[in-house]
């Protein structure tokens, strides 16, 4: 039960980053708390940055973009950054849900005054539903998860054999 609760809290942080809309000029330090807030409410945290830039030629943690407490550079459209909140209980278990996201221009909300940025999730891999406590998710978080899994299924099914497609259908089925 503790693992499922922590996994779901980490997932909530992952979804918060994936769905965030922030003003142009915002830095990763301004959104890092979104990934941590559900863990903080439970009195726990993780000791790494929420995300880092992705480079080439094995420069995995390439900047200047990152999502962390120490980030100061502004995020800009086209940047690729990881979204990877986690939780680690010493000697027990560890959790990290990781995707790559692209910083995108996001429409200014009706009546809004600021140009906004958002994130487009690039990584397409199922999130283990057996580790999720759906009772801890809001309707919007569940909607995001089900839409993400539908996208994973629709994109990957034509690329795999029938046995894998069947498995993919099962592990990405909507949570009610």
Tell me: the pLDDT tens digits for 91-111? 999 999 999 999 999 999 999
Q: What is the pLDDT of residues 147-158, one digit of tens each?
A: 999 999 999 999
Q: Is 36 exposed, middle or buried (0-12, 13-18, 19+ CB in 10 A)?
A: buried
* pLDDT at 55 exceeding the cut of 80: no
The token pair that represents 144 in the structure block = 């995001």
* pLDDT at 45 exceeding the cut of 70: yes
**What is the pLDDT at residue 167?**
98
**What is the pLDDT at residue 133?**
98
Instruction: Answer yes or no: pTM beyond 0.85.
Output: yes
DSSP state of 117: E
Rounded distance between C-alpha atoms, residue 106 and residue 102, angstroms: 12
Rounded distance between C-alpha atoms, residue 50 and residue 101, angstroms: 12
Distances (CA, A) of 148 to 21, 69, 155, 162, 169: 18, 27, 11, 21, 13
**What is the pLDDT at residue 61?**
65
């Amino acid at each position: 039960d503790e693992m499922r609760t922590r996994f779901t809290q980490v997932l909530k942080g992952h979804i918060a980053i994936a769905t965030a809309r922030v003003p142009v000029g915002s830095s990763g330090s301004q959104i890092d708390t979104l990934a941590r807030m559900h863990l903080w409410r439970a009195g726990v945290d993780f000791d790494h940055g929420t995300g880092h830039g992705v480079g080439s030629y094995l420069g995995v943690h390439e900047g200047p973009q990152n999502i962390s407490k120490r980030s100061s550079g502004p995020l800009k459209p086209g940047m690729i950054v990881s979204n990877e909140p986690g939780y680690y209980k010493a000697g027990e278990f560890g959790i990290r849900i990781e995707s790559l996201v692209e910083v995108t221009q996001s429409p200014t909300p009706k009546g809004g005054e600021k140009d906004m940025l958002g994130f487009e999730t690039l990584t397409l891999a199922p999130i283990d539903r057996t580790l999720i406590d759906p009772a801890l998710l809001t309707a919007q978080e569940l909607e995001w998860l089900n839409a993400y899994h539908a996208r994973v299924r629709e994109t990957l099914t034509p690329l795999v054999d029938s046995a894998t497609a069947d498995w993919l259908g099962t592990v990405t089925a909507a949570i009610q």
